[in-house]
């Protein structure tokens, strides 16, 4: 049953990966000018972000213990307002340095619905409410990976980089996903990234990105409700301009014609896996050309999965078939001191 609980949803690592699509850029002045996307973080800076995520999962998990009342549809809404403090930057060029952040949850709430009732399951609403006022520290790698997360053990006992409380922060990163020589308005580029932690090997997300255009940033940022203008920011050259980056992606698996698609970590634990995992979606990022910081990111995705996990020694198996639809919005906001 431990395996069933871990993979009953089967989509957390993918959702975390999708959140890495956001980019950040320093100054661009003309349509033909090449721009290298790299935010300049410095210790002592503070940012506020509002994150809203909604996901709907439909499907069925078949386990050795038959449960005719098992859930077939769940939905969850998560709303966060976070204060993000830069507490350290390792030496390196902008966009290539590791950045240490402290994320404090000013507000946190969640609502969930399911067609099955589990009296022993913790309430998401209680868990997220309990996070308010608490902090997590983590290191943001140049490629958007999150490392060394830690926080109060009694509040976040099993914190991982794919947790919704934390995973969104990968959107702040830049690095190897972008052409090293920079991009100009209208330019397209392709990239591919393998997704770790899923029960099938060779699962990747393949992206085609376009530097769509420059447009006016929202004046002064948005307030804590996502509406602008909010409290004024420090003015900077070109602060009125933002870059719009459109990314379309698909999720697929290399070697899908092979019957055995077991990742090494599963094989070491005596498990064998097989099946399919696919999906598609898009994101739109708005990035300040003056500062290189992420202003906003909206993302939508659909995933279809059908996989089986088998114990090589006991022959027991878990079969998961499902569909996951998700939407995420990340927006930098200006919060007045009076907001508690």
CA nearest to 228, candidates 115, 336, 118, 334:
334
The answer regarding whether domain 2-332 maps to CATH 3.40.50 reads no
Give the pLDDT score at 210.
94
Task: Give the SS3 label for residue 19.
Answer: helix
**Mean pLDDT across 301-330:** 94
Q: Is pLDDT above 80 for 49?
A: yes
The model's pLDDT over 268-301, given as tens digits with 9 standing for 90+, comes to 999 999 999 999 999 999 888 888 888 999 999 9
The stretch 75-103 carries a mean pLDDT of 87
pLDDT greater than 90 at residue 261: no
Per-residue pLDDT band for 237 (boundaries 50, 70, 90) equals very low
* pTM of model > 0.95: no
> What is the band of 119 on the pLDDT scale with cuts at 50, 70, 90?
low
Residue 18 in this model has a pLDDT that exceeds 80: no
Residue keyed to tokens 């033909």 = 32
- Residues pairing with 309 in the sheet: 273, 318
pLDDT at site 320 = 94
pLDDT band at 92 (very low <50, low <70, confident <90, very high): low
The rounded mean pLDDT for the chain is 79
pLDDT of residue 176: 47
Express each pLDDT in 320-340 by its tens digit: 999 999 999 999 998 754 444
Which pLDDT band holds residue 9 (cuts at 50, 70, 90)? Answer: very low
Q: Which helix (H) or strand (E) holds 246?
A: strand 241-253
Tell me how far apart the alpha carbons of residues 37 and 34 are, in angstroms, rounded to a whole number: 10
Q: Is the pLDDT of residue 223 over 80?
A: no
Q: Give the span between the Cα atoms of 142 and 20, in whole angstroms.
A: 11
Radius of gyration over alpha carbons of the chain, in Å? 21
The string over 75-106, giving b where at least 16 C-beta atoms fall within 10 Å of a residue's C-beta and e elsewhere, is ebbbebbbebbbebbeeeebbebbbbbbbbbb
**pLDDT above 80 (res 87):** yes
8 A C-beta contact, residue 172 and residue 39: yes
- Poorest-pLDDT segment among 104-108, 130-134, 222-226, 325-329: 222-226
Q: Is the pLDDT of residue 67 over 50?
A: yes
pLDDT band for 230, please (50, 70, 90 cuts): very low
Q: Which residue has the tokens 């979606």?
A: 281
- β-pair type (271-288, 241-253): antiparallel
N residues, the chain: 340
**In sequence order, which residues have a C-beta less than 8 Å from that of residue 31 and are 6 or more positions away?**
184, 185, 186, 214
| pLDDT range class, residue 50, cuts 50, 70, 90 | very high
Q: Is 192 a residue whose pLDDT tops 70?
A: yes
Q: What is the pLDDT of residue 228?
A: 39
Reported as a single tens digit per residue, the pLDDT across 130-187 is 899 999 999 988 878 888 888 777 777 777 887 888 889 988 875 445 677 888 999 9
Is the predicted pLDDT of residue 27 greater than 80, yes or no? no
Query: Does residue 330 come out as left (phi exceeding 0), alpha (psi in the -120 to 50 range) or beta?
Result: beta
Task: List the alpha helices (DSSP H) in 213-292.
Answer: 264-268
């Amino acid at each position: 049953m431990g395996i069933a609980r871990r993979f009953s949803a089967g989509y957390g690592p993918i959702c975390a990966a999708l959140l890495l699509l956001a980019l950040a850029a320093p100054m661009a002045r003309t349509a033909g000018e090449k721009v290298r996307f790299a935010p300049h973080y410095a210790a002592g800076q503070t940012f506020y972000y509002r994150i809203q995520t909604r996901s709907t999962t439909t499907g069925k998990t078949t386990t050795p213990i038959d449960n005719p009342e098992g859930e077939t549809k769940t939905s969850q809404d998560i709303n966060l307002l976070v204060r993000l403090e830069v507490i350290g930057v390792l030496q390196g060029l902008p966009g290539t340095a590791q950045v240490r952040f402290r994320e404090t949850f000013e507000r946190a709430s969640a609502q969930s619905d399911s067609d099955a009732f589990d009296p022993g399951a913790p309430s998401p609403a209680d868990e997220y409410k309990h996070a308010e006022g608490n902090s997590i520290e983590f290191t943001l790698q140049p490629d958007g990976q999150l490392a060394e997360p830690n926080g109060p053990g009694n509040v976040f006992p099993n914190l991982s980089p794919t947790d919704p409380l934390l995973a969104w922060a990968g959107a702040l990163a830049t690095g190897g996903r972008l052409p090293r020589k920079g991009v100009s308005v209208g330019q397209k580029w392709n990239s591919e990234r393998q997704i770790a932690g899923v029960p099938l090997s060779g699962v990747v997300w393949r992206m085609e990105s376009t530097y769509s255009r420059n447009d006016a940033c929202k004046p002064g940022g948005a307030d804590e409700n996502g509406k602008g203008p909010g409290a004024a920011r420090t003015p900077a050259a070109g602060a009125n301009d933002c870059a719009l980056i459109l990314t379309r992606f698909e999720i697929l698996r290399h070697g899908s014609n092979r019957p055995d698609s077991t990742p090494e970590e599963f094989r070491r634990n005596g498990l064998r896996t097989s099946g399919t995992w696919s999906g598609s979606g898009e994101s739109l990022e708005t990035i300040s050309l003056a500062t290189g910081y992420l202003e906003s990111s909206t993302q939508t995705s659909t995933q279809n999965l059908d996989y089986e996990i088998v114990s090589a020694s006991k022959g027991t198996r878990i079969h998961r078939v499902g569909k996951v639809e998700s939407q995420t919005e990340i927006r930098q906001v200006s919060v007045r001191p009076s907001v508690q």
